[in-house]
Amino acid sequence: MTRVGFIGLGNMGGPMCGHLALAGFEVRAFDISEAALARAREAGASSAATAQDAAAGAEVVITMLPAPPQVEEVWRGIIPALAPGTLAIDMSTSSVAVGRRIVEAASARGVDVLDAPVAGQSIGAQAGTLAIYVGGSEEGFARARPLLEVMGDPSRIFHLGPHGAGYTVKLLLNLTWFIQSVATAEVLSVGVRAGVSLEQLHRALVGSPANSVFLERDVLPVLESGDYDDAFPMRLVTKDLALAVELARDAGVPVELTALVEQIHRRARVQYGDDAGEISAIRLYEDLAGIELRF
């Protein structure tokens, strides 16, 4: 039985850890939240007193953490506890630069590292249907695959290249989604203010060449019930967008649209708070236009 240390049991990590325990892996989990640890125990994991305790003796260590500073702090603390041959998997949305430093420190101990961020929101984490974007060695990916298939959809687990490729693709995926959020907010607000029925406008756009998954599916909670999805808060949205801007800068690509979309989301965060839902850019446009986008 594979011994797994799992660190970070939030809205995403908690269900992911639970799936591994229910699948029969020997999971030792840690989080700073006692309530999160209790839920992990209910799913069949044992709890650790510290991150280092969770990692000690594990064959595979997985982290699912909020942002790059936490990712670097946790891995700096646990790498000395890892035995040579351990597989380290960071499933957070983090930065390539932080990932590079972790790889350097882990390699010195003979530890293989994968970056494997996920997409699919908390509903996907709960259902075990996440998409997973992996960067790292072929050998590490092969070792990780049985665990990844428990947490994600096997048809949407992608090995994308060397270290950092997973982080890069995840940041670009998020960037595309947040650009679509702003574009959808603008289009729907203009159309409704111009006198077109929201229902008819939405139906026409979905049936057009301009359709997208965001327009067809992801915006529906807002249009149907005013749900801006607070499972993923604006403080994390703006973190991800800042990382995308940093990635573009490091790649030497000017990204004027990305910079503007980041600023719009920062404005929504200031307006509605750190814990406001991830689609709050639409709420910002609703308020600016003096309308509610509801069927």
Please check whether residue 294 lies inside any domain of the structure: no
Contact 104, 132 (CB under 8 A): no
- Cα–Cα distance between 293 and 143 in angstroms, integer? 47
Q: By C-alpha distance, which of 62, 50, 49, 5 is closest to 28?
A: 5
pLDDT band of residue 1 (cuts 50, 70, 90) is low
Domain count across the chain: 2
Which residues are CB-neighbours of 206 under 8 A, at least 6 positions away?
A: 215, 216
Contacts of 169 (CB under 8 A, 6+ apart): 133, 158, 160
The pLDDT, as a whole number, for residue 196 is: 98
Mean pLDDT in residue range 22-48: 97
Whether residue 173 is found in the same domain as residue 158:
no
Domain boundary (134, 162, 190) is at 162
- The domain that contains 242 carries what CATH number? 1.10.1040.10
Instruction: Give 175-240 as a DSSP string.
Output: HHHHHHHHHHHHHHHHHHHTT--HHHHHHHHHTSTT--HIIIIITHHHHHH----TTSBHHHHHHH
pLDDT per position as a tens digit, 257-267: 999 999 999 99
Contacts with 77 (C-beta within 8 Å, 6 or more apart), sequence order: 51, 52
Catalytic hit among 170, 202, 269, 283: 170
Beta bridge partners of 133: 158
The predicted model scores a pTM of 0.94
Residues 128 and 192 reside in one and the same domain: no
239 a catalytic residue: no
Backbone phi, then psi, for 130, in 5-degree steps?
A: -65, 150
What's the CATH code of the domain at 61? 3.40.50.720
What is the per-residue pLDDT across 96-150, written as a single tens digit (0 to 9) for each?
A: 999 999 999 999 999 999 999 999 988 999 999 999 999 999 999 999 999 999 9
Residue 212 gets the label, from left (phi > 0), alpha (psi -120 to 50) or beta, of beta
Q: How confident is the model at residue 174 (pLDDT cuts 50, 70, 90)?
A: very high
Residue that terminates a domain, selected from 162, 197, 229:
162
Mean pLDDT, rounded, for 74-92: 96
pLDDT digits (tens, 9 = 90+) for 47-69: 999 999 999 999 999 999 999 99
Same domain, 19 and 136: yes
- Examine the domain organization and report whether 175 and 61 are in the same domain: no
27: alpha, beta or left? (left if phi > 0; alpha if psi -120 to 50): beta
* Pair 107, 175 in one domain: no
Domain that holds residue 25: 3-162
